[in-house]
């Protein structure tokens, strides 16, 4: 079930000062494991091991096996606190899950064929990304690594919305569960400036503003 594995130690000493010493003197990162039918547990992880795991974006959309003092927990990453300007992980929140646990998680979008997109290569348009990931809701066992968005046949002037994305079975875009008015734009292929279509759009916007 788990695609990644991390080792952690139970953290006995708590507090801001203790956390600072862990990071500075021992190269460890404080974390918390919560959820399920157990009490929250304070733990520490090796910063070096965390950094290596974080290099893979799919780490954040996978179930993780977390070994804590001889006990294995299945978890997902729910929050990461990073230092504002140093390459340092300050704290990590892990949520306990089972395969059937319904969770909400941000999943990266992978845009395919941007260079050969019809609206760009043949029609001179320009791609504007409104989102690089979306929040989904699904069972933990169905959590996708990423969501592909194929732009090969997308024409200039097109606006791709959340409802246009092809999601795996059992996976929903969280925003769409709130109603059709939450169908936000994911990407647009803008009309090239100076074209007749662009002039018409600008003229329409000016007229609407005057009204």
Q: Please give the share of the chain, as a percent, with pLDDT higher than 70.
A: 84
List the CATH number of the domain containing 142.
Answer: 2.170.120.20
Asked whether residue 115 falls in the same domain as residue 91, the answer is no
Mean pLDDT of the chain: 87
Asked whether residue 31 falls in the same domain as residue 47, the answer is yes
Q: pLDDT at residue 198 above 70?
A: no
Asked whether residue 114 falls in the same domain as residue 200, the answer is yes
Domain that holds residue 192: 103-210
On whether the CB atoms of residues 179 and 201 are closer than 8 A, the answer is no
* Higher-scoring residue by pLDDT: 36, 201: 36
* Higher-scoring residue by pLDDT: 206, 43: 43
Q: pLDDT at residue 210 above 70?
A: no
Asked whether residue 113 falls in the same domain as residue 72, the answer is no
On whether the CB atoms of residues 72 and 39 are closer than 8 A, the answer is no
Number of independent structural domains in the chain: 2
Closest by CA position to 1, among listed 77, 49, 66: 66
165 SS3 class: coil
Distance CA(85)–CA(163), nearest Å, equals 37
Closest by CA position to 49, among listed 108, 97, 105, 9: 9
- For residue 148, what pLDDT is reported? 96
On whether the CB atoms of residues 106 and 60 are closer than 8 A, the answer is yes
Asked whether residue 11 falls in the same domain as residue 89, the answer is yes
Q: Quickly state the pLDDT bin for 193 (edges 50, 70, 90).
A: confident
Asked whether residue 109 falls in the same domain as residue 194, the answer is yes
Asked whether residue 128 falls in the same domain as residue 46, the answer is no
The whole-number average pLDDT for the span 180-187 is: 97
Q: Quickly state the pLDDT bin for 205 (edges 50, 70, 90).
A: low
| Domain boundary, last residue among 78, 97, 116 | 97
pLDDT tens digits, 84-129: 877 778 889 999 999 899 999 999 999 999 999 999 999 999 999 9
pLDDT tens digits, 115-170: 999 999 999 999 999 999 999 999 999 999 999 999 999 999 999 999 999 999 99
- The residue assigned the tokens 């090239």 is 192
| Domain boundary, last residue among 97, 114, 136 | 97
Q: How many CB atoms lie within 10 A of CB 30?
A: 23
Helix %, strand %, coil % for the chain, to 5? 25, 40, 35
* Higher-scoring residue by pLDDT: 51, 154: 154
The whole-number average pLDDT for the span 188-194 is: 87
């Amino acid at each position: 079930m788990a695609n990644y594995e991390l080792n952690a130690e139970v953290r006995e000493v708590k507090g801001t000062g203790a956390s600072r010493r862990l990071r500075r003197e021992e190269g460890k990162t404080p974390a918390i494991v919560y959820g399920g039918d157990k009490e929250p547990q304070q733990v520490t992880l090796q910063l070096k091991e965390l950094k290596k795991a974080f290099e893979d974006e799919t780490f954040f959309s996978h179930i993780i096996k977390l070994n804590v003092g001889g006990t294995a927990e299945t978890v997902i990453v729910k929050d990461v606190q990073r230092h504002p300007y140093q390459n340092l992980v300050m704290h990590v929140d892990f949520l306990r899950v089972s395969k059937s646990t319904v969770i909400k998680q941000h999943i990266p979008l992978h845009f395919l064929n941007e260079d050969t997109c019809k609206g760009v290569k043949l029609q001179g348009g320009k791609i504007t990304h409104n989102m690089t990931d979306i929040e989904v809701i699904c069972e933990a066992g169905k959590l996708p690594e990423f969501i592909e968005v194929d732009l090969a046949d997308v024409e200039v002037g097109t606006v791709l919305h959340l409802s246009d994305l092809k999601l795996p079975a059992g996976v929903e875009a969280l925003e769409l569960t709130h109603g059709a008015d939450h169908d936000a734009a994911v990407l647009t292929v803008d009309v090239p400036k100076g074209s007749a279509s662009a002039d018409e759009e600008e003229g329409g916007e000016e007229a609407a503003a005057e009204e």
